Structure 1
């Protein structure tokens, strides 16, 4: 059996990391839109939102709370499935989808006892369940789901000499990008910039979502082909480890 070895190409895929920026922002906006859309469908009205908060007032349904995380986990699952089926260049896009769903933030938030998942769990469980047990069960489920997607992402990057650095950069990309950007955008809203509401969201939110979508389309070649010569992770092989020739 041939011993697996890392690629001799030690370039870091900077173009892929740059392309993650609009993808992360678009996925974040899609996550928030999932909240407001399910509010419209389940409660008969749009949830009101800014760039990182939403509310819908009195509504008996838990679906608006679940809509956002459900979208994020479906995106992680889609990225994981693509990573297991795609060729070299498709794996860059697949791993990008997993990281853009921000699994690190989902896991950390759930572990701290906050976030959409905890709200959904409390709605399902009611008042008779031990809060500590509910927290442990919910955080454990979130950690399993996120860890599973991240394990696929790690394996999909097999054969890259810079795999640890690429994985670490992708892992923190969601928090590093949205962390400084969203408060800045909310300050613009608080100052009254393009704050008129449409379908539950200020006009500035819709314009930013459109700009993010344009950015994803423009950077898609970098997301799929980050290295100029098209090199990337080797396809995964059933029953064996990746070998780079």
Structure 2
């Protein structure tokens, strides 16, 4: 019986495919998925509390009058990301077209699975806050960190490994390194430093549905940019074969 699993072949890409437009499209997708992750937190917090707390591009809190279990809102962001990881992993293995596999690969890494592992290892992240709140072992920071690293690895590492296994071997690890590390470094500079400083300076800080206008404008700009360049995420000859 013939298997329906096909390998994502990096040889489909030529050097000309890795023009700046590819990386712009990918980083725009990273910004989109990152904001959807934050919205999972923010809107769940509103559903629990009936009010919005303050936020910026990467930090959020429930409103000061919230008496509900805020750790549920803390879990909402990672839960959204985990669902995306595993859907993409499934698509990477079983999508009926190679083009579908390439898009799934981009969405998987744009949702930053490595960043979740890295943050857990360094002692931070939503998962740590959720586990500490759930277990009540605030006094045992080492135990909370161990549990967090194990839990995050269970949800994040297999999709990364599935993606790695499906890629051909030539230059595979360099490619995976760029997809995992690049978005994290970009977000740290662009969102955490530049855009958050604009918010702190009072630029478009008026909120709508719990989100400052600057973040909303940024999201729409990234969405437009990604839509215009989305075909650059797949090899040129494959994209041309669609038409």
TM band (smaller chain): 0.7 to 0.9
Paired residue secondary structure (2:236): coil
1:204 matched to 2:210? The reply is no
Q: CA deviation at 1:7?
A: 6.9
Contact 1:10 1:162 in 2 (8 A): no
TM-score by length of 2: 0.84
In 2 relative to 1, CA 59–178 (structure 1 residues): closer, same or farther, beyond 3 Å? farther
Q: CA deviation at 1:119?
A: 0.3
Alignment of 1:96-111 (within 5 A): 96-111=106-121
Q: Deviations over 1:176-224 (max 9, x none)?
A: 221111110111112211111111121111111111111221122112x
Cα distance in 2 for partners of 1:9, 1:100 equals: 21
Cα distance in 1 for partners of 2:79, 2:31 equals: 17
CA RMSD of aligned residues (A): 2.2
Cα distance in 1 for partners of 2:90, 2:11 equals: 28
Paired residue secondary structure (2:237): coil
Paired residue secondary structure (2:238): coil
Q: CA deviation at 1:45?
A: 1.3
TM-score by length of 1: 0.83
Contact 1:24 1:174 in 2 (8 A): yes
Higher helix share: 2
Aligned residue among 48, 52, 56 for 1:50: 56
| Residue in structure 1 matched with residue 92 of structure 2 by the alignment | 83
Q: CA deviation at 1:8?
A: 6.0
Give 5+ residue unaligned stretches, structure 2.
1-6
| Residue in structure 2 matched with residue 236 of structure 1 by the alignment | none
Q: Deviations over 1:99-120 (max 9, x none)?
A: 1111111101111221100000
| Residue in structure 1 matched with residue 32 of structure 2 by the alignment | 26
In 2 relative to 1, CA 221–185 (structure 1 residues): closer, same or farther, beyond 3 Å? same
Aligned residue among 9, 14, 32 for 1:11: 14
